[in-house]
C-alpha cells in the first residue's frame, strides 16, 4: 500500500480544499473549506459559474448574503463527491460576536436544508475565540454540529470540550511556522522534525488530554506543511490535508505506523475553564495569541476580497 492508504488504516482522511474536482481522486471521507480556499477556487474558470449563479440568483442582494449562498453552493457540490461531511465557515468578522455567529450558522443550515442537505452532513466552522466557542455551545444544543478552527493551544481545546463541540481543528503548520520564524537562524529543521515538531507536539498534547479524560470531541489535525507532520500524527481521529500533500502521500511508499493511541484508564474530566482562565491562558501563550489573531485577520481579508469579486460581478 502507498502511504496514503496506510494512513487511512489509522486516521480518517479529510480533504482541505474548495476544489471539488480534486476530491474524487483521493477519496476523502469529509472535506473542509474556508474563505481563503473558496476565494482561490472561484478565481479559476472552472468554478466561475458558481459565483455567477449565486450573483444572478440574488439580484441586488448585499455581498455578505451572496457569499453565504456561494459557500453553501460549494458545500453542496462537495457533498456530491464525499460520503461524509463538509465544513463551512461563517463570516470571520463575527469571530467575537456570539449571537451573530449563531444567527449566521442557522441561516447556513437553512440554506443547506433548502438544497436537500441534512444538517448531519454539515459542520459549521467557527474561530476558537471565547465567543466562537460559546456560539458552538448554543449550536450543539440545537443539534447543529460545529468545527472549531484556528486552534493553537490546550486552553482552546479544553474550552471546546467544555462546550461539547463536535470537532476541533488544531493547526499544525501555523504553529510550526511561528516557532521557526521566532527561532530564526538557530532553527534546526532536522532536530525539530517528526515528533519534535512543535505543531505535532501540540496536537499530541490535545489528543492525549481528550482521550485521558474520555472527551468525545473529535480531533482533526489541520494546516500541514509537510508529509512528515502527517506521518508523525497517524492515529489522530481525523486529518484535513491539502491536495498537494494527498498527492505526495499517494505517490509515496514511506511506512506509516500508528503514533497516537491512548490505552490507559479514563480519568475524571477537569473543571470547566472560566472565561477569565481562558483569556489568561491565551494571553500567556504568545504563539497561540498571535496565530489566532493573524488567522482571523487573514480570513477577513480573503472574505472581503471575495465580496469585492461578487460586487464586481454584480456590475
CATH number of the domain at 306, please.
Answer: 3.20.20.70
Q: Which sequence positions are flagged as catalytic? A: 125
Percentage above 70 pLDDT, the chain:
100
Which three three-digit cell numbers place residue 231? Answer: 506521518
Confidence of residue 19 (pLDDT cuts 50, 70, 90): confident
Q: Which long-range contacts (CB under 8 A, 24 or more apart) does 38-44 make?
A: 38/70, 38/71, 38/74, 38/306, 39/302, 39/303, 39/305, 39/306, 39/309, 41/17, 41/74, 42/70, 42/306, 42/309, 43/309, 44/19
pLDDT of 22 above 90:
no
Q: For position 173, what pLDDT does the model report?
A: 98
Q: For position 205, what pLDDT does the model report?
A: 98
Confidence of residue 308 (pLDDT cuts 50, 70, 90): very high
Q: For position 13, what pLDDT does the model report?
A: 97
User: What is the rounded CA–CA span in Å between residue 173 and residue 176?
Assistant: 5
Q: For position 141, what pLDDT does the model report?
A: 98
Q: How many distinct structural domains can be found in the chain?
A: 1
pLDDT of 4 above 90:
yes
Q: For position 20, what pLDDT does the model report?
A: 82
Percentage above 90 pLDDT, the chain:
95
pLDDT of 95 above 90:
yes
Domain that residue 257 falls in = 3-314
Q: Does the predicted model carry a pTM greater than 0.95? A: yes
Confidence of residue 271 (pLDDT cuts 50, 70, 90): very high
Mean pLDDT of the chain: 96
Which three three-digit cell numbers place residue 315? Answer: 456590475
Q: For position 73, what pLDDT does the model report?
A: 96
Mean pLDDT value of segment 164-183: 98
Which three three-digit cell numbers place residue 167? Answer: 470537532
Q: For position 75, what pLDDT does the model report?
A: 96
How does pLDDT run across 97-111, given as a tens digit for each residue? Answer: 999 999 999 999 999
How does pLDDT run across 57-81, given as a tens digit for each residue? Answer: 999 999 999 999 999 999 999 999 9
Mean pLDDT value of segment 297-314: 96
Amino acid at each position: 500500500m502507498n502511504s496514503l492508504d496506510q494512513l487511512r488504516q489509522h486516521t480518517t482522511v479529510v480533504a482541505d480544499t474548495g476544489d471539488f474536482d480534486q476530491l474524487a481522486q483521493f477519496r476523502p471521507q469529509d472535506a473542509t473549506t474556508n474563505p481563503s480556499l473558496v476565494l482561490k477556487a472561484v478565481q479559476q474558470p472552472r468554478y466561475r459559474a458558481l459565483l455567477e449563479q449565486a450573483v444572478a440568483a440574488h439580484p441586488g442582494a448585499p455581498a455578505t448574503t451572496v457569499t453565504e449562498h456561494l459557500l453553501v453552493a460549494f458545500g453542496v457540490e462537495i457533498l456530491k463527491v464525499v460520503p461524509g461531511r463538509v465544513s463551512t465557515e461563517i463570516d470571520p468578522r463575527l469571530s467575537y460576536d456570539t449571537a451573530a455567529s449563531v444567527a449566521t450558522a442557522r441561516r447556513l443550515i437553512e440554506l443547506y436544508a433548502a438544497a436537500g442537505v441534512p444538517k448531519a452532513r454539515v459542520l459549521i466552522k467557527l474561530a476558537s475565540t471565547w465567543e466562537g466557542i460559546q456560539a458552538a455551545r448554543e449550536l450543539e444544543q440545537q443539534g447543529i454540529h460545529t468545527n472549531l478552527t484556528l486552534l493553537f493551544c490546550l486552553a482552546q481545546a479544553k474550552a471546546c470540550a467544555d462546550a461539547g463541540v463536535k470537532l476541533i481543528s488544531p493547526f499544525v503548520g501555523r504553529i510550526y511556522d511561528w516557532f521557526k520564524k521566532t527561532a530564526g537562524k538557530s532553527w534546526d529543521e532536522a532536530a525539530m522534525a517528526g515528533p519534535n515538531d512543535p505543531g505535532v507536539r501540540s496536537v499530541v498534547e490535545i489528543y492525549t488530554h481528550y482521550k485521558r479524560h474520555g472527551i468525545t470531541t473529535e480531533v482533526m489535525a489541520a494546516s500541514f506543511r509537510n508529509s512528515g507532520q502527517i506521518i508523525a500524527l497517524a492515529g489522530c481521529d481525523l486529518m484535513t490535508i491539502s491536495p498537494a500533500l494527498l498527492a505526495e502521500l499517494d505517490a509515496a511508499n514511506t511506512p506509516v505506523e500508528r503514533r497516537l493511541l491512548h490505552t490507559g484508564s479514563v480519568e475524571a474530566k477537569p473543571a470547566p475553564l472560566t472565561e477569565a482562565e481562558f483569556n489568561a491562558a491565551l494571553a500567556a501563550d504568545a504563539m497561540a495569541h498571535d496565530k489566532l489573531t493573524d488567522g482571523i485577520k487573514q480570513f477577513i481579508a480573503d472574505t472581503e476580497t471575495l465580496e469585492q469579486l461578487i460586487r464586481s460581478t454584480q456590475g
